[in-house]
Structure 1
Amino acid sequence: MNNLKKILDKFCVISEESQNLIFSLAKNIELRKGDSISKAGEISKSIYILEEGIARSFYVDEKGKEYIRNLFVPIRAIGPLGALILRKKSKFSYDCLSHCKLQVINYDDFIELTKQNLEIGKLYSKILEKVFLELEAKVYDLSVLNATERYLKVKAQIPNIENLIPQYHIASYLNITPVQLSRIRKGLYSKK
């Protein structure tokens, strides 16, 4: 529960009593590399806290090509939040790119707590604000930054990313081809 506490503390300070209400909803799970957390086309019931490992959210087009929407490293909340809020099937899949340890919380139970507890309601509001700001930043990055700048930004956020996941996943996340990524890396490392 220490990692869950760290996530809660990132957003706002809530009492130990409120924290314990959230902790009572959480369940530990471990998944292997390649295991699915949540699949596109399903109606998810849970949100997840990634404690160890690396995970991704992705979309698969009608031709079977994957597009990585996001990469997740600890300690981070993940899951199909939009689908949970709308109570619809998710457009995105979430899976593990390495062995992962997660906390699972039933979304409806958490929302019920937000209605009963003002502190937890405030926490949820702060979480939604952060999700919005991250999405806005991602749209900005894709609109304004070139591929090299996006790569350097990911490297700053996840310094050892090349040792964690395959290059084609990194390229997909950056919205470039693996060949483009190779050229970017070669250009950067030849300057050193």
Structure 2
Amino acid sequence: MEFLKNFFSNPNFTPIPESSFEAFSKLINIVSYEKKDTIAKAGKIATDSYIIKSGIVKSYFVDDKGKEHIRSIFTPYRTTGPLASLISNKPSELSYDCLTDCVFYKFNYKSFKELARKDIAIAGLHSEVLEFIFLKMESKIYDLSVLNATERYLKLKREIPNIEEIITQYNIASYLNITAVQLSRIRKSIYSI
């Protein structure tokens, strides 16, 4: 549980009392998934949320032509799961797959919300996590709107320096909203300087 304590000591979150941490810990199951496993499937109503202990997860959708579009990449110390489905109790528009072998702290979202109704510290944590997710999504929208492909690639490399050793070029390109050929050109221009 040391990992969870570190997760909750994130400077973006207000510290919670030990009693709240213990109550939350009772909701947690540690689960492992292998590379390419799906933790949440598009078209299904989600029930669980995850905190990533190790590994990398992608959220994506597949368009009418069968092309996959990666919306987010999640790394350790991040929460993941189809939040829109969890909140609305409607089928998810996105799938969530493991890009590497992963270990998660998994918990039922409804049970977490019930705990938040009883525990003000957990309610505050829930609010802060949602704010953090919103800010990450807003940053991604900004990046796609304002930054060029090279700038987005360099930002991703700053966030995950060894990304190219972990996931495929195709997945990186899809996340950056470019083709693999464009990514190859960007990498060539950067590394030939």
Aligned counterpart, 2:19:
17
Q: Give CA-to-partner distance per residue, 1:77-101, whole Å, 9 cap, x none.
A: 1001111111110000001111101
Q: Residue 30 of structure 1: SS of its match in structure 2?
A: strand
Written as runs of structure 1 = structure 2, the 5 A alignment for 1:4-153 is 4-10=4-10, 11-153=13-155
TM-score, normalised relative to structure 2 = 0.97
How many Å apart are 1:112 and its aligned residue?
A: 0.2
Q: Give CA-to-partner distance per residue, 1:23-72, whole Å, 9 cap, x none.
A: 11000111111111100000010000111111110111121110000111
CA distance in structure 1 between the partners assigned to 2:54 and 2:131 by the alignment: 24
Q: Give CA-to-partner distance per residue, 1:111-133, whole Å, 9 cap, x none.
A: 00110011111111111111111
Aligned counterpart, 2:2:
2
CA distance in structure 1 between the partners assigned to 2:96 and 2:14 by the alignment: 27
TM-score, normalised relative to structure 1 = 0.98
Q: Give CA-to-partner distance per residue, 1:106-160, whole Å, 9 cap, x none.
A: 0000000110011111111111111111111111000000000000000000000
Structure 2 letter corresponding to 1:169: N
4+ aligned runs moved over 6 Å, structure 1: none
RMSD over aligned Cα atoms: 0.7
Structure 1 letter corresponding to 2:4: L
Structure 1 letter corresponding to 2:107: I
Identity of aligned residues (%): 52
CA distance in structure 1 between the partners assigned to 2:68 and 2:174 by the alignment: 8
Matched positions, count: 191
Q: Residue 128 of structure 1: SS of its match in structure 2?
A: helix
Runs of at least 5 residues in structure 2 that lack an aligned partner in the other structure? none
Aligned counterpart, 1:183:
185
Aligned counterpart, 2:168:
166
How many Å apart are 1:104 and its aligned residue?
A: 0.5
Q: Give CA-to-partner distance per residue, 1:152-179, whole Å, 9 cap, x none.
A: 0000000000000000000000000000
How many Å apart are 1:5 and its aligned residue?
A: 1.9
